[in-house]
Amino acid sequence: MSKKVLIVDDEEVIRKFLKIHLTKLGYEVTEAADGEQAIEQLGKDDFNLIICDILMPKKNGWEVIKEVKSNPKMKNIPFIVLTAKNEDSDMFKGYDLGANYYMTKPFTKAQLLYGLRLMLHEAPEEIRV
């Protein structure tokens, strides 16, 4: 059974290429365009990984982390923050709120695979860098 990944980002193009990459790697991908949709999807399904943007309309990434990490059912889902906010203070804030990994935009496929390996303890051939 393939693992399920939730991609949360208001940028369509980013969701698009993330989905192509992850699908190729054999993950089942669900998309959400903002924080509200993310929470909705999380309620519907069990996920093995969340990749989430911070600056989004309606509900931002910080709020999504808070909700996920305060929900006993979800708090063990690995949470990757993927954001353009690249200041140290933002990164610390992310980890403080309970994010498991903090990735900044722009990023390469290799950086993405490294994060996946770290979070899912898997080592697909290509991930080796």
Partner 1 sequence: MEMQFKMDDQERKRIILALRWTAIIVTSYLILFGRGRVTNLHLSHILIAIYIFSNILLYFFPKTWFSNSKFFYPLVLFDTGIVSFGMYLSEKMTTDFYIVFFLIIIFASISRNFKLLMAIGGITALLYGVLLYSWGLLTTEHGSSYTLRIPFIFIMTAFYGYIVQTLTREKREELTISEDKYRGLFENANDGIILLRNPQLQIADVNREVEKVTGYPKKELIRKEIFDLFAPEEIEKARSYFKEVVEKGEGRADCLSLKKEDGVSLEVDLSTKRIDLGDESFYQMIFRDLTEQRKLEKKIRESKRSLEAIFDGIQDHLSLQAPDYKILRVNRTVAENYKTSFQELIGLKCYEVYFQRTLLCEKCPVSLTLETKKPASSIMKLSEGNTTLKIFSYPVLDEKGELTSVIEYMKDITEEQRLQEQLIQSEKLAGIGILASGVTHEINNPLSGIIGMAEIALEEDDPSKNKDYLKDILTCAQRISEIVKGLKSYSRAAKKEDQSPVDLNEVFEESLKMVHLATKTISVEVIKQFQPIERIKANMGEIQQVFTNLITNAFQAMDGNGGKLVLSTRSLKDSVEVKVTDSGMGIPQKYLNQIFDPFFTTKKLGEGTGLGLNIVYRIVTKYEGTIDVKSKEQIGTTFTIKFPTRRVEV
| Residue numbers at the binding site for partner 1 (CB under 8 A) | 11, 13-14, 16-18, 20-21, 35, 55-60, 83-87, 104-109
The closest alpha carbon to 54, from 36, 77, 81, 15, belongs to 81
How large is the C-alpha radius of gyration of the chain?
A: 13
Q: Give least dist CB 82 to partner 1, A.
A: 8
Q: Give least dist CB 2 to partner 1, A.
A: 20
CB nearer to partner 1: pick between 84 and 129: 84
Helix (H) or strand (E) holding 80: strand 79-83
CB of 85 closer than 8 Å to CB of 54? yes
CB nearer to partner 1: pick between 1 and 13: 13
CB nearer to partner 1: pick between 75 and 91: 91
Q: Give least dist CB 96 to partner 1, A.
A: 16
Distances (CA, A) of 67 to 1, 31, 84, 118: 27, 18, 21, 23
CB nearer to partner 1: pick between 72 and 106: 106
Q: How many CB atoms lie within 10 A of CB 86?
A: 12
Measured distance between the N- and C-terminal CA atoms of the chain, rounded to whole angstroms: 26
Q: Give least dist CB 101 to partner 1, A.
A: 16
